């Protein structure tokens, strides 16, 4: 289960999240941050739980071919897992794995306004907060708009953006590896 | 996440009433799970979604809600463009008048009209298709390739034996002489008049709507309460402006 604690975020991201919450409080916008960190091990377990060993082996080889041996080791190391199919993302393929992203929803009358139409102004205000603190708001994406999602760096899949060394450096900086 | 999951029954209820949304629901399942949906009915789709993880269900619900919102917006626009028939108004009409209006509303849907316009041009599409085939075989020198004369197959043989007679006259003769008509051509000739009438009626209704204008219309809730970018351009002090002001202070 992914964490919803701000303490699990990378220090810079945590600071930004706190600033967002502070401003939302000032303007009387209730905001709930409901997802912060999902560790590489958790992501690996979820990825493995609906896949055959053959599929896992292929994924591990892909990681190794692309220079992500440390992610291949994590995927290999969590061992066999059982459960339904829950994700298409392997370890390292979501910014939540790097403690650099959060998901939040505005609350209206104590209830989350999941629908944009239920709280356009609130969603826009939340998006403005995210942008103002220098994060990338997925509500501005054109391909797959995901208004709750905010991340420190741009790009949907970190492994497609950064080289293995850079990814390793980010994970080390965030003390996740 | 739980409240989003709680919204699922309402989403399923809407999806089961609109076939277009059912198709979109299946596409979103594929988008979320990476595997194509095998549902053949809204009930099966519901079972399929309920078998997903809470996270995937939430993602499905959120995406579908956006699609439903878009659908509602489009239909609101259609209501305004075509003329809003409320249940109150319909209850005051005679059954015959209500039926007429129902037929008019169906036949003046833009998608239906678009299809009718294509239908009108159907013979020309066939001619175009035949020309493309001939061009391809000519350009690529595939002399042995078989060219399907689709126009002739559907409407009867159209050959220009006498080059002195204009092609248009021959085309008109082909469709107007009863002995030349195939069943498809006969059906086409019988229906085309109605189709053109519907298209003209639709365009007339639209022009009347445009001429009527919107001067007497009341502002919608959204226009009365601008938010986000609209609020900014209209100088309103919405939440977004408050956020900007809050960040501007420090």
Closest by Cα among A22, A96, A87 to A50: A87
Q: What is the rounded CA–CA span in Å between residue A107 and residue A113?
A: 6
Our CA-based measurement puts residue B62 at a distance from the nearest CA of chain A, in whole angstroms, of 7
Residue A103's beta-bridge partner residues?
A35, A149
**To which residue do tokens 């209850």 refer?**
B91
**Residue B170 reports pLDDT greater than 90:** no
> Is residue A108 domain-shared with residue A172, that is, in the same domain?
yes
pLDDT tops 60 at residue B224? no
Q: Which of A49, A78, A93 is the last residue of a domain?
A: A93
| Ordered DSSP codes for B4-18 | HHHTHHHHHHHHHH-
How many CB atoms within 10 Å of residue B182?
Answer: 15
Q: What is the mean pLDDT of residues A144-161?
A: 85
pLDDT the model gives residue A72: 92
pLDDT tens digits along B110-135: 778 888 989 999 988 998 998 898 88
Among residues A77, A93, A109, which one ends one of the domains? Answer: A93
Q: What is the pLDDT of residue A136?
A: 93
B240–A contact, CB cutoff 8 A:
yes
**Which pLDDT band, with edges at 50, 70 and 90, does B210 fall under?**
low
Number of domains in chain A: 2
Domain hosting A72: range is: 39-93
pLDDT at B230 (0 to 100): 40
Contact yes or no for A88 and B244 at CB 8 A: no
pLDDT value for B225: 45
Report chain A residues whose CB lies below 8 A from the CB of B240.
Answer: 121, 124-125, 128
Tens of pLDDT, residues A41-82: 988 998 898 889 999 999 999 999 989 998 999 999 999 988
**Same domain membership, residue A164 and residue A111:** yes
Tell whether A110 and A177 lie within a shared domain: yes
Residue of A nearest to B69 (CA): A117
Mutate to test the interface with A, among B8, B51, B246, B248 (most CBs of A within 10 A): B246
pLDDT at B231: 39
A115: pLDDT confidence band, cut at 50, 70 and 90?
confident
Examine the domain organization and report whether A89 and A18 are in the same domain. no
d(CA A140, CA B63): 15
pTM score above 0.80: no
Q: Please give the structure tokens belonging to residue A141.
A: 């994406």
A44 and A106 assigned to the same domain = no
pLDDT confidence of residue B59: 87
Residues A31 and A107 in one domain: yes
Residues A8, A71 within the same domain? no
Better pLDDT: B233 or A100: A100
Q: Give A127's pLDDT tier (boundaries 50, 70, 90).
A: very high
Test B238 with A125 for CB contact under 8 angstroms: yes
Chain A CA closest to residue B59: A146
CATH number (domain holding residue A173): 3.30.1380.10
**Pair (A117, A82) in one structural domain:** no
Lookup: tokens for B176: 């107007």
* 3 state DSSP class of A149: strand
Chain A environment of B69 (Cβ under 8 Å): 115-117
A71 and A149 within one domain:
no
């Amino acid at each position: 289960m992914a964490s919803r604690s701000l303490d699990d975020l990378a220090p810079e991201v945590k600071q930004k999240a706190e600033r967002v919450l502070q401003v939302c409080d000032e303007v009387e916008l209730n905001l709930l941050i409901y997802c912060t960190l999902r560790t590489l091990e958790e992501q690996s377990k979820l990825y493995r739980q609906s896949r055959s060993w053959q599929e896992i082996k292929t994924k591990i080889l892909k990681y190794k071919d692309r220079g992500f041996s440390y992610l291949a080791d994590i995927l290999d190391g969590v061992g066999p897992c059982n459960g339904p199919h829950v994700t298409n993302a392997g370890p390292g393929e979501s910014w939540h794995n790097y403690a650099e992203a959060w998901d939040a929803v505005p609350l209206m009358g104590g209830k989350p306004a999941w629908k944009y139409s239920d709280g356009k102004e609130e969603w826009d205000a939340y998006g403005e907060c995210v942008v103002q603190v220098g994060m990338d708001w997925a509500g501005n994406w054109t391909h797959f708009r995901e208004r709750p999602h905010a991340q420190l760096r741009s790009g949907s899949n970190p492994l497609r953006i950064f080289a293995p060394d850079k990814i390793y450096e980010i994970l080390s900086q965030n003390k996740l590896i | 996440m739980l409240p989003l999951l709680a919204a699922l029954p309402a989403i399923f209820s809407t999806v089961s009433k609109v076939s277009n949304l059912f198709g979109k629901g299946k596409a979103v399942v594929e988008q979320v799970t990476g595997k194509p949906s095998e549902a053949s009915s809204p009930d099966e789709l519901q079972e399929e979604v309920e078998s997903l993880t809470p996270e995937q269900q939430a993602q499905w619900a959120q995406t579908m809600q956006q699609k439903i919102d878009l659908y509602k917006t489009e239909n609101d626009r259609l209501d305004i463009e075509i003329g809003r028939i409320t249940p109150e108004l319909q209850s005051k009409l005679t059954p015959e008048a209500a039926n007429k209006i129902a037929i008019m509303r169906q036949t003046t849907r833009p998608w239906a009209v678009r299809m009718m316009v294509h239908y009108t041009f159907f013979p020309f599409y066939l001619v175009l298709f035949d020309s493309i085939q001939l061009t391809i075989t000519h350009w690529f020198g595939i002399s042995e390739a078989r060219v399907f004369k689709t126009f002739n197959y559907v409407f009867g043989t159209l050959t220009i034996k006498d080059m002195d007679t204009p092609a248009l006259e021959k085309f008109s003769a082909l469709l107007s002489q009863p002995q030349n008509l195939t069943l498809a051509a006969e059906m086409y000739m019988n229906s085309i008049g109605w189709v053109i009438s519907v298209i003209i009626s639709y365009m007339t209704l639209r022009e009347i709507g445009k001429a009527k204008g919107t001067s007497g219309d009341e502002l919608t809730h959204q226009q009365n309460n601008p938010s986000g970018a609209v609020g900014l351009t209209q100088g309103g002090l919405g939440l977004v402006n408050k956020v900007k002001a809050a960040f501007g202070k420090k």
